């Protein structure tokens, strides 16, 4: 902020200053350059979601939580561009993984799920947006629903790969155990919430204050940095629960998939 702004604010002082974690530098050159990515592997996660592993030889690296822009080009020159979170941890040199939900009638996710095969090439650029990134240095409370777990999984994987000791908790909402993405990889850091059907002994219902209470009660040193990701409806719901439970608004980062 400049002198001018500070001096003339008068009655108005912004209650929150949003900031990208200070140690994240966005390289403009890297972020805007389109690169060719080659599909090297497709892994099914659930009936509706699959992971697409891409070789991107000049990938400059990313931080857990960042996303990229992806472009498909039709023979007549028509292009479709979408944003996708990066699922893999940063260290997977020269490779990145995306996990896509198969959206009914979706142009880009439809291509990935019904046409794409190993060897295909697409264009990507990024990484983008440092705001939702987690470099692994603060206690992180991760809350996601559906494919909103994708950028959070990058954080969990990073935490594991580096053997970090900073507290990390994941609260993930899915319709059913069958629709829980990365189910086999989730560990003791994770609390699943099932909204339609649950394994015997677990309740069915949507994310509620009672799910957050024990996690917020942990109060790690410095407090939680909360990361909320999913559909807009979920993001609204989860962020309001967090605020009501006392989490400071400027320690809540939200990635809305639309």
Partner 1 sequence: MNSTTRGFAGRPRAARPGLPPGQYDAGDDWPVLSAEVTPDLAPADWTFRIGGLVTEPRTWDWEQAHALPASAYSGDIHCVTGWSKFGVRFGGVSLDAFLDAVRPLPSATHAVAYAHTGYTTNLPLADLTGGRAWIVWEYDGQPLAPEHGGPARLLVPHLYFWKSAKWIANLELLDHDEPGFWEQNGYHPRGNPWQEQRYSGD
Chain residues binding partner 1 by CB under 8 A are 1-2, 4-5, 8-12, 14-18, 20, 26, 28-29, 31-32, 34-36, 69, 72-75, 78-83, 107, 111, 115-116, 120-123, 125, 128-132, 232, 235-236, 239-240, 242-243, 249-250, 252-256, 258
Residue 168 CB, nearest approach to partner 1 (Å): 21
**Which tokens in the block code for residue 233?**
């409806």
**Residue 52 contacts by C-beta under 8 Å, 6 or more apart in sequence?**
39, 41, 42, 97, 98, 99, 100, 112, 116
* Residue 83 engages ligand FAD in binding (rule: CB under 6 A): yes
**Dist CA 18 CA 194 (whole Å):** 32
Compare residues 65 and 167 and give the one whose CB is closer to partner 1: 65
Nearer to ligand FAD, 88 or 216 (CB): 88
- Whole-angstrom Cα Rg for the chain: 19
Residue 104 contacts which entry, partner 1, ligand FAD, none (Cβ below 5-8 A, type-dependent): ligand FAD
Cα torsion 110, 97, 188, 21: sign: negative
If you count them, how many residues does the chain have? 258
Nearer to ligand FAD, 107 or 218 (CB): 107
Q: Give the nearest distance from C-beta 89 to partner 1 in angstroms.
A: 22
Q: By CB under 6 A, tell whether 147 contacts ligand FAD.
A: yes
End-to-end CA distance of the chain: 30
Give CA–CA dist 69/34, Å, rounded: 9
- Using the rule CB under 6 A, which residue among 52, 59, 84, 224 binds ligand FAD? 84
- Taking residues 150 to 189 in sequence order and writing x for each that binds ligand FAD by CB under 6 A, - otherwise, the string is x---------------------------------------
* Residues that contact ligand FAD, how many (by CB under 6 A): 21
Nearest residue to ligand FAD, using CB?
106
**For residue 54, what are the β-bridge partners?**
39, 96
Work out how close the CB of 10 gets to ligand FAD at its nearest, in angstroms, rounded to a whole number: 36
Tokens read off for 14: 């912004």
Three-state secondary structure call for residue 125: strand
**Residue 24 vs 198, nearer CB to ligand FAD:** 24
Could you tell me the two tokens for 179? 């629709």
Closest CA to 220 of 134, 136, 152, 138: 138
Binding to ligand FAD in span 60-79, by CB under 6 A = 67
Q: Which of 106, 139, 177, 223 binds ligand FAD (CB under 6 A)?
A: 106
CA-based torsion, 132, 135, 138, 143: positive or negative: positive
Instruction: Using CB under 6 A, list all residues that contact ligand FAD.
Output: 67, 82-85, 99-101, 103-110, 147, 150, 255, 257-258
């Amino acid at each position: 902020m400049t002198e001018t702004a500070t001096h003339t604010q008068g009655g108005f002082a912004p209650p929150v200053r949003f900031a990208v974690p200070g140690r994240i530098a966005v390289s403009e050159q890297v972020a805007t350059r389109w690169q060719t990515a080659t599909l090297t592997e497709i892994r099914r996660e659930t009936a509706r979601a699959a992971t697409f592993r891409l070789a991107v030889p000049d990938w400059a690296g990313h931080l857990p939580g960042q996303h990229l822009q992806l472009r498909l080009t039709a023979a007549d020159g028509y292009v479709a561009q979408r944003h996708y979170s990066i699922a893999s941890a940063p260290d997977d040199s020269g490779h990145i993984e995306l996990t896509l939900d198969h959206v009914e009638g979706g142009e880009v996710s439809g291509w990935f799920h019904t046409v794409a095969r190993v060897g295909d090439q697409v264009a990507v650029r990024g990484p983008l947006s440092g705001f939702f990134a987690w470099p692994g240095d603060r206690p992180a409370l991760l809350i996601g629903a559906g494919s909103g777990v994708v950028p959070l999984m990058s954080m969990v994987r990073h935490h594991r790969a580096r053997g970090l000791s900073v507290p990390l908790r994941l609260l993930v909402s899915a319709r059913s155990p069958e629709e829980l993405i990365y189910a086999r990889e989730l560990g003791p850091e994770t609390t699943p919430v099932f909204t339609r059907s649950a394994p015997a002994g677990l309740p069915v219902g949507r994310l509620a204050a009672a799910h957050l209470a024990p996690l917020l009660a942990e109060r790690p040193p410095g407090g939680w940095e909360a990361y909320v990701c999913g559909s807009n409806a979920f993001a609204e719901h989860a962020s309001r629960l967090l605020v009501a439970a006392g989490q400071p608004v400027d320690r809540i980062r939200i990635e809305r998939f639309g």
